[in-house]
Amino acid sequence: MTDLLTVSPELSANHAWFFDLDGTLAEIKPHPDQVEIPDAVLQLLHRLAMQNGGALALISGRSMVELDALTTPFRFPLAGVHGAERRDINGQTHIVTLPQTLKRDVYSQLSAALENLPGAELESKNMAFALHYRQAPQHEATLLMLAKRITARWPQLALQPGKCVLEIKPRGTDKGEAIAAFMQEAPFAGRIPLFVGDDLTDEAGFAAVNRAGGMSIKVGCGETLATWRLANVPDVWRWLKQIHYPQQKQKSASDRRDGYESFSRSI
């Protein structure tokens, strides 16, 4: 059961802010290279970070290089590749590595297999691999068997399903662990964590935030551990604007009556 709200919750508390990117801050596109975050949204994130002592980080399946490119000119703390790489507020990086021979062998096997699966794409992330099938959904079952075979052969690796993608990443890394690591450091330590995400890969982050008594927000439909929900990416943008401009809440309430506002709490 969900309790619909006419405005976003009051966020005057001492929060540590965590955001997924694709499907949360940016619309999902047919190809990852087509994704972008509107400049106005980047400005809102920057302002939110400054108002909270820098306690704002992006937690994504993308690499940190990609995240920096998508958020230029700003430089936020980051966790990329589902936490396998992380950059703290001081710019120090924490990166999980895999043996070169393992990476070479996995890449070789995946590349050979995808030659027979037209439309599917292999993305190498140095310490992880992504099997994309958004343009070839008929290959989902075959790719799942392939990914399971790879992770069974190399127990250092784990499978992480996502939206039209199967990630093969270092075992023991996830978004929840990344958030927990940030929460041990300044300026995040001692704050209430808040995490916004949309995918299966974000559920570990929701679980970590819930355990810490924070606020977990799922974007879109589907079962989730998150306790709050926003309908889509534009609703995330509007919600961020409401945080900075409280006078927008009255308009939001009117929008909801017209069918546009969709912030709800799971109870």
pLDDT tens digits, one per residue of 85-109: 999 999 999 999 899 999 999 999 9
Question: What pLDDT does residue 264 have?
Answer: 53
Question: What pLDDT does residue 266 have?
Answer: 47
Q: Rounded to two decimals, what is the model's pTM?
A: 0.85
Q: Give the pLDDT band (50/70/90) at residue 133.
A: very high
Q: What is the arithmetic mean of pLDDT over 125-140? A: 92
pLDDT tens digits, one per residue of 192-215: 999 999 999 999 999 999 999 999
Which pair of structure tokens corresponds to residue 115? 């030659």
One DSSP character per residue, the chain reads -EEE-SSPPP--S-EEEEE--BTTTB---SSGGG----HHHHHHHHHHHHHTTT-EEEE-SS-HHHHHHHTTT----EEEGGGTEEE-TTS-EEE----HHHHHHHHHHHHHHHTTSTT-EEEE-SS-EEEE-TT-GGGHHHHHHHHHHHHHH-TTEEEEEETTEEEEEETT--HHHHHHHHTTSTTTTTSEEEEEE-SGGGHHHHHHHHHTT-EEEEESSS--S-SEEESSHHHHHHHHHHHH-TTHHHHHHHHHHTT----EEE-
Q: Does the pLDDT of residue 117 top 80, yes or no?
A: yes
pLDDT tens digits, one per residue of 11-69: 556 899 999 999 999 998 888 889 999 999 999 999 999 999 999 999 999 999 999 99
Q: Does the pLDDT of residue 171 top 60, yes or no?
A: yes
Q: Which residues are catalytic?
A: 20
Q: What is the arithmetic mean of pLDDT over 121-148? A: 93
